Amino acid sequence: MNSTETPGDAESGTDTAQISIDDVSKVYSSETSPVEALRDVSFGVERGEFVSIVGPSGSGKSTIFRIVAGLEAATEGAVFVDGEPVTEPGPDRGMVFQDDALFPWRTVAENVAYGLEEVGAPDGYTVAERVEYCLDLVDLPDKADAYPKELSGGQRQRVGIARALAVDPPILLMDEPFGSVDARTKASLHRGLLNIWTETRKTICFVTHDIEEAVYLSDRIVVFSGAPGTVLNIVSVDIDRPRNRTGEAFTDIKGQVLSYFEDEEAE
């Protein structure tokens, strides 16, 4: 029911990928000695694919997210989106963070419209129509006039997703967006995100420390080692959706991914 690719296989496929991460290393300077966060990371994400990155704390998951997003630069190597090198953030990459970062003085609709104020609405939409469409996507059409303080944590994250989708980016980058919500809310957010992905067919690159979350959501899972982060393997999740979290195939793949962390601890 599942297959794996070695890191070398992943590298060979980056020529056709929408996102290509090519031998990326990252070293941070410090007062004592340099800190190596990433070492020779290579993998690709195909157009319309849902790929998760998992790894222990300090494995550089969020660092690779920030490099793909254009928020910081690699020390060595490069990231390409549609063949063009990433040097800064751009409207082709929507971003969702664990902290929803909504503006408390703006209504939900005004928060979703924020990016549209700079780049305008996608073709075929007015700003108001695009905001309405995105709030429908995240199942919050009745919250347009509410303020963030009036929403639950899960609702605020859905507003963050709507805001990222508003300018219609082909790529959605998500850094542990559901890490701070309870298990029941997280399960609901998972279903909602997959519905959005099914409708929009965005390319999604999703960072998480939650292995079960990665298996439930992803087409493939990129497994990072501990610091410095390297690609241990890429695991394909060949299970039909919707997925049964207690099914044998699901449990097998979850165990396979978990085994990489156990192997590292044993070394």
Query: How far is residue 11's CA from residue 21's CA, in Å, rounded to a whole number?
Result: 8
| Secondary structure of residue 172 in the 3-state scheme | strand
Contacts (Cβ under 8 Å, ≥6 apart) of 54: 61, 208, 209, 210, 211, 214, 221, 222, 223, 224, 257
| Contact between 43 and 222 (Cβ < 8 Å) | yes
The pLDDT assigned to 24 comes to: 98
pLDDT tens sequence across 47-83: 999 999 999 988 999 999 999 999 999 999 999 999 9
Sheet containing 3-5: give its strands across. 3-5, 231-236, 220-224, 50-54, 203-208, 171-175, 93-97
Cβ burial of 204 (10 Å; 0-12, 13-18, 19+) is: buried
DSSP 47-69: TT-EEEEE--TTSSHHHHHHHHH
Query: How far is residue 171's CA from residue 24's CA, in Å, rounded to a whole number?
Result: 20
| Contact between 227 and 27 (Cβ < 8 Å) | no
| Contact between 23 and 75 (Cβ < 8 Å) | no
Query: How far is residue 96's CA from residue 115's CA, in Å, rounded to a whole number?
Result: 13
pLDDT tens sequence across 76-99: 999 999 999 999 999 999 999 988
Domain limits, the chain: 3-92+169-266, 100-168
Provide the pLDDT confidence category of residue 8 given band limits of 50, 70 and 90.
Answer: very low
* DSSP percent split of the chain into helix, strand, coil, nearest 5: 40, 25, 40
Query: How far is residue 242's CA from residue 58's CA, in Å, rounded to a whole number?
Result: 31
Helices in the chain by DSSP H: which ranges?
A: 7-12, 61-69, 108-112, 116-119, 127-137, 153-165, 183-200, 211-217, 248-266
pLDDT tens sequence across 117-139: 988 999 999 999 999 999 999 99
Provide the pLDDT confidence category of residue 177 given band limits of 50, 70 and 90.
Answer: very high
- 25 bridge partner residues: 76
Please name the CATH architecture into which domain 3-92+169-266 falls. Answer: 3-Layer(aba) Sandwich (3.40)
pLDDT tens sequence across 138-172: 999 999 999 999 999 999 999 999 999 999 999 99
Query: How far is residue 193's CA from residue 170's CA, in Å, rounded to a whole number?
Result: 15
pLDDT tens sequence across 191-239: 999 999 999 999 999 999 999 999 999 999 999 999 899 999 999 999 9
| Secondary structure of residue 155 in the 3-state scheme | helix
Indicate the pTM of the whole model: 0.90
How many residues make up the chain in this entry? Answer: 267
